[in-house]
Amino acid sequence: MHTFTEAAQHGPQEVGREVLRLVSLNDSHHGVAPGLVLPADYEEQFYRNNNLPEQLRSLFSPINPRRVDEDALEVLCLKAEALVRASYLLDDDVQRFYRALSAAALNEGRLHVRRDEGSDVEEARVTPPGTQALIALKKLWSRDWTFDAVLERLDAQGSVAIDGRASLIFAGGAGQPDERLAAQLGWSRVLVNEFGVVGA
């Protein structure tokens, strides 16, 4: 787990492309809200430790990507979401998460979690050690298995499979678009909340 400054030293495949834009904002005197990056391998390890790739492959094996039975797919997606939410992070990974939250002063108060360059947000009001943040993170991960998300992958790549991706945690609530700042920076979007910029 990295602060945004630390994350900038890693590749976009691990921490996402958005982080690099956020770090550049700090250099231009536009404050970024306090936050953390959970690299893609944190999620991948969660999947491996729970044998989720094999379980999900087996669950979706009745689905033919060329002729999708949407009614059957909807039922399987509900089961997949429940499977992800019911799976556990190893205790060492949980403790590492709590330590990172504490070090970043994100273990108390309001925060939100979303994917790198994503729009889906899970909010939480956190008390130490940060269990509510962990629950929000797993809810975010389980969104990859909603009917719409799975159908989109089937249409785009002919498979339900997905790689782990970076997740971002920010202090405060979900940001609102700031069109003036976006135009000033020449970017398509900038999101701002009570703590600063939370999306770029």
Q: Evaluate whether 86 touches 136 at the Cβ level (below 8 Å).
A: no
**Residue 24 reports pLDDT greater than 90:** no
pLDDT on residue 5:
82
Write the pLDDT tens digit of every residue in 139-176: 999 999 999 999 999 999 999 999 899 999 999 999 99
Distances (CA, A) of 75 to 63, 72, 81, 116, 147: 11, 5, 10, 28, 9
Q: What residue type is assigned to position 182 of the chain?
A: A
If one compares 61 and 28, the residue with the highest pLDDT of the two is: 61
pLDDT on residue 175:
93
Write the pLDDT tens digit of every residue in 90-99: 999 999 999 9
pLDDT on residue 55:
97
